[in-house]
């Protein structure tokens, strides 16, 4: 019995991806982030005092394990949207890690400014923070303050950070990478 439990666990450990020093991120801190936002699902972020929760569009669905929290950066500085959903998401090729939590970042041009996005991927939950900064907001909350906001993420206490190897391989395929064998992955899951 011990052998049947030990061998699959050993295989998972050996299959875990290795990270280079460039991919690991150290946390940036900022003393201006004084407001703690805690999700109903156990994760948290630190936000600037100027962030005021906006009930319009803020939702929670406990059964579906989803939550959206909207904040306005009063004074025309921008907005913050934090949301999570239950999903087994693949890992894009350009991922990084923060305290062994896999994440990736994207930026998008919006009508009112730039939308900075960081998405954290855990075993069965994805948490995403979108920060829209106007030109005015970028001067006060851009750069190291924005990075500190993203880096303040604390995962739920029960979150599994270790991801299955196929999630990395499948993510590479969709980013112009390796020859992922989808049939092999399906046979391992059953």
pLDDT in tens, 46-96: 999 999 999 998 999 988 889 999 999 999 999 999 999 998 899 998 899
* pLDDT, mean of residues 10-38: 65
Is residue 74 within 8 Å of residue 52, measured between CB atoms? Answer: yes
Average pLDDT over every residue of 172-186: 52
DSSP 154: B
User: How many Cβ atoms from other residues are within 10 Å of residue 167's Cβ?
Assistant: 18
User: For residue range 135-157, what is the model confidence (pLDDT) as tens digits?
Assistant: 999 999 999 999 999 999 999 99
The CATH number of the domain covering residues in 21-163: 3.40.1000.10
The residue ranges of every structural domain in the chain are 21-163
d(Cα 26, Cα 100) in Å, to the nearest integer? 11
Tell if the pTM clears 0.75, that is, is over it.
yes
């Amino acid at each position: 019995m011990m052998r049947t439990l030990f061998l699959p666990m050993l295989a998972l450990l050996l299959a875990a991806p290795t990270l280079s020093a460039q991919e690991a991120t150290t946390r940036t801190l900022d003393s201006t982030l004084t407001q703690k936002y805690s999700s109903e699902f156990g994760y948290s972020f630190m936000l600037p005092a100027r962030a005021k929760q906006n009930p319009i569009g803020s939702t929670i669905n406990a059964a579906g394990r989803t939550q959206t929290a909207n904040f306005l950066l009063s004074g025309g500085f921008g907005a913050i949207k934090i949301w999570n959903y239950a999903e087994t998401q693949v890992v894009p090729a350009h991922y990084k890690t923060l305290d062994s939590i896999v994440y990736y970042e994207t930026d998008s041009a919006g009508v009112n400014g730039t939308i900075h996005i960081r998405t954290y991927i855990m075993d069965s939950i994805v948490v995403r923070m979108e920060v829209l900064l106007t030109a005015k907001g970028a001067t006060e909350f851009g750069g190291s303050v924005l990075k500190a906001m993203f880096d303040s993420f604390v995962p739920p206490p029960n979150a599994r950070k270790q991801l299955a190897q196929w999630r990395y391989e499948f993510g590479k395929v969709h980013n112009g990478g390796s020859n992922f064998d989808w049939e092999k992955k399906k046979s391992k899951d059953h």
